[in-house]
Amino acid sequence: MIKNISKNKLFDLLSSFKRQKIAVIGDTMVDLFIWGSVKRISPEAPVPIVEVSKESQTLGGAGNVAANIAALGGTAYLVSAMGNDSSSDLLVRLLEEKNISSKYLVEDSDKPTITKTRIIAASQQVVRVDKEIKGEPSPDAQEKILINIEEIIPKSDGVIISDYGKGVVGDNVLRKAIELSRKHKIPISVDPKLDNFKKYYGVTTITPNTKEAIEGMKASNIEMDTDIAELGKKILEFINSDSVLITRSEKGMMLIEAGGKVTNIPTRAREVYDVTGAGDTVISTMTLALAAGADFLSAAEISNFAAGIVVAKIGTATASPKEIQSAIEEFYSK
């Protein structure tokens, strides 16, 4: 068990989150959940009939990143695009419920608001239906997004690029966000997508999962921990970042820092029900910690505790400071 970071240091970090302001730039979506049970198969086709018991809605994509920041006590400035439809109204309402401003959301009437509908029965996802049109926003929407980036980064303590490959994070947006973050000497973190993987040159940290790291670098024969470590070093060098945090599901995380230091961090999850949104929690918590002045290992460790909480919940979820504090207390009492 890694306990080379003091419990009090992690607690101090956690309490500092409420003073941090984070710009979140990326693809925002609405996650709809239809909950029910399956008791029979349809006579019309070999598919289950789900008897609906309830429905719920939550923020997805970059919206979930912003929700994680808000849940941890920070302030999130969300820069993104949405359609002109009923789902956009729902998106704005969901943001308001989380005390997240919709001021920097840009309307793009050429596309629908991205919506993902999941049907869940007996705690298992039966099917997912996506409503989206991939591709960069309209020229007018892109220009407004760049203007918003120029406005919020100077007043932020950290920046997150939440790239789901839907179009908001284009070349111009990436360049502008990285350039301004470096200029104002604030950390910029990226949750990557394969299409843009090699365009993140100059970011502070990048948080791919194992699959994204392998496919993003077109690597092969990656099996041992030493292979993952070498891959991480190649990513770090290729994009000139200060650190790479590779999330490894039940194996935890691997942190690779500039200078070659590699740290394996075992998972802190006690139960795993649903990994949906866990990457959003990791990058949110890590960036809040970096914005508060944490070193990379402390930032990675506290994000690991947060991720361990959300994977024990069904659906897109967040972790609260109280839950993280309890998890840390439990770990350090062993």
Q: Does an H or E element contain 218, and which? A: none
> CA-to-CA distance for 181 and 171, rounded, in angstroms?
15
> Token pair for residue 15?
């309490």
Burial 230-244 (b: 16+ CB within 10 A, else e): ebbbebbeebebbbb
Is the four-CA dihedral 41, 45, 51, 52 of positive or negative sign? Answer: positive
Tally Cβ neighbours within 10 Å of residue 34.
18
Look at residues 300, 218, 212 and name the one whose alpha carbon lies nearest to residue 261: 300
CA atoms within 13 A on the CB side of 67: 28
Question: At a CB cut-off of 8 Å and minimum separation 6, what does 152 contact?
Answer: 23, 77, 79, 104
DSSP 105-122: EEE-TTSPPPEEEEEEET
C-alpha count within 13 angstroms, C-beta hemisphere, residue 11: 10
Contact call for residues 198 and 239 (beta carbons, < 8 A): yes
Q: Which residues are catalytic, by number?
A: 280
